[in-house]
Amino acid sequence: MAGPLSTMDVIGLRKPPEQPLSAPLQPGDSAPYLAAMEPDRPRYLVAFLRHVGCPFAEATVRQLRWLAGQYPEVQCILVSHGDGAVRARWLEKVGGAAGLTVVDDPDREFYGAFGVGYSGAGHFLGLRSLLGVVGLWFKGVRNRSASGTRWQKSATFLLDASRTVLWSHTAAHAADVPRLAPVLERFKGEATPMMTESEASPRLRVRLLEHTPYEGIGNIERWLLQHDARIERTRFYADDWSLPDPEAVDLVIVMGGPMSANDETALPWLKAEKAFLREAVDRGVAVLGICLGAQVIASALGARVYAAPQAEIGWFDVQSVPATTGSIKLPSRLRVLHWHGETFELPPGAIRLASSEVCDNQAFQIGTRVIGLQFHLEATPHSLASMLEHEAGDLVPGPFVQGAEALQAASDDDYRRGAKLMAEVLNYLTRARSTVADTAAGGSILENNQV
């Protein structure tokens, strides 16, 4: 006769090495950013599962599914570290994930960032856990096809709109699944608690200027997570966009888009965006522009943006210009993703960093706090697929326009090198939060000529 332990898969019984682990988050701490977080939510309930297939994980899913219906203002986020395909099949078996946001974290990066580490054997083989398995069996909650490691602890965090931790719970044993409805009731409409001393240190304040809903930040997300950045967005494609006081921002990232930097008549927000960027540059805020973003910065600072000799869409080389003292040093040659039909003149005071066969100006720098890149170092296979989905009409045959198949044939090394250089650029821009005049640091943070 089948019993409560008869279908337990023998997974993860050998304890793997622990990943980099932050201190467990406590109330008052600031939680890392997850890309899945929806803006303007007053609360985020983030649940880290033990492993896919665990009966206690199933109990957590059932509870969160109910809470999502009862508290629609709360975004319920489910994080698992097992195989994504196994996780998807498991969720179907346990009733689905309606109302939940599911995040796959196969490398357990988010587990580590939230301080959710491994347990001892007693965590899942102790008497309380085994009795819990039996109790859930009679409620129809069973061990199922599993993926992940049984050594993983579970934990749950309630965050406010600014990602400050209001409440946290790390399981003392596998069966330690808290009742969450009383927690949500307790903090319903409650103000954020006082910050702890650990929160007193300033976080990097990042403002993303986004022109379309489908051109995401790609591999920049990982860098922002690693640097515990506080991220806010201006979505110019939405009717309710707004811009902050530049003094309240440490880093501005200006993203791409299909429009022209010259479309001020059709898109009046371009004037406001350029005025904001001029003020940010004047005040010494670090500013990074990507593709259209680089062109908007150039235009904001008085340079001409105009049609390029040829559209440049595909993976093509750029060549760096010999670095001057204090400027960032790019690789001598790098294969990068292009997607643009216009280019720009250098703004006053700018240094050319890179060029290509089509465009003399592919990257520029002003002082040590402003960098414009006309190409996409932030690209990932996912972000490229999104661009292909929404901008495939740009792929008009030409000498420097690749088709969709060629675009998607980029190697892992192409993406890896781009991500590494993107991180170096961000490190360079944020190495000192001071003014544009602060060039005393000198030199380049990129000592090697290759990425």
Task: Tell me the pLDDT tens digit for each residue of 150-198.
Answer: 678 889 999 999 899 999 988 887 777 888 888 888 887 654 443 333 3
**Nearest 5°: phi and psi at 74?**
-95, 130
| pLDDT the model gives residue 147 | 58
Is 272:243 a contact under the CB 8 Å cutoff? Answer: yes
| pLDDT the model gives residue 173 | 77
Is 292:308 a contact under the CB 8 Å cutoff? Answer: no
Is 195:28 a contact under the CB 8 Å cutoff? Answer: yes
Question: Which of 386, 382, 308 lies closest to 345 in space, CA to CA?
Answer: 308
| pLDDT the model gives residue 1 | 34
Q: What is the DSSP letter of 213?
A: S
Residue 228: is it exposed, middle or buried by C-beta count within 10 angstroms (0-12/13-18/19+)? Answer: middle
- Tell how far CA 378 is from the center of its chain: 11
| pLDDT the model gives residue 127 | 54
- Going by their DSSP bridges, the two strands 205-210 and 251-254 should be labelled as parallel
- Taken in order of first residue, the domains within the chain and their CATH numbers are 43-196 (3.40.30.10), 205-429 (3.40.50.880)
Q: Which residues of the chain have pLDDT under 70?
A: 1-19, 119-148, 150, 189-202, 432-451
Beta strand residue intervals within 43-146, DSSP E: 43-48, 74-80, 100-104
What residue has token string 């506080």? 230
- Residue type at position 47: A
pTM, two decimals, is 0.56
